Amino acid sequence: IHRMTRLEFAIEGMSCDHCTARVQKALEEAEGVRSVEVTLDPGSAVIVGDALDPEVLVAIVERAGYEARPSG
């Protein structure tokens, strides 16, 4: 049985709605992710899912061209 996990990240480098959509789409494709909410101001992402690995999610955001660090 997997426990749902809720992770928050600060995202740097997003400047427009296109940026938030790009980050959201990248995170939604990650394994175990159930929902993603990305906001431009302040730059943040809230990810809910099963057995999430924060390091993997940070790497996904970095591949999309932005910086992420755990927050909250």
pLDDT tens profile 2-20: 679 999 999 999 999 999 9
In SS3 terms, the chain reads as CCCEEEEEEEEECCCCHHHHHHHHHHHHCCCCEEEEEEECCCCEEEEEEECCCHHHHHHHHHHCCCEEEEEC
Q: What is the pLDDT of residue 1?
A: 58
pLDDT number for residue 45:
98
Question: Which pLDDT score, from 0 to 100, does residue 2 have?
Answer: 62
What tens digit of pLDDT does each residue of 17-34 get?
999 999 999 999 999 999
Does residue 72 surpass a pLDDT of 90? no
Q: What is the mean pLDDT of the chain?
A: 95
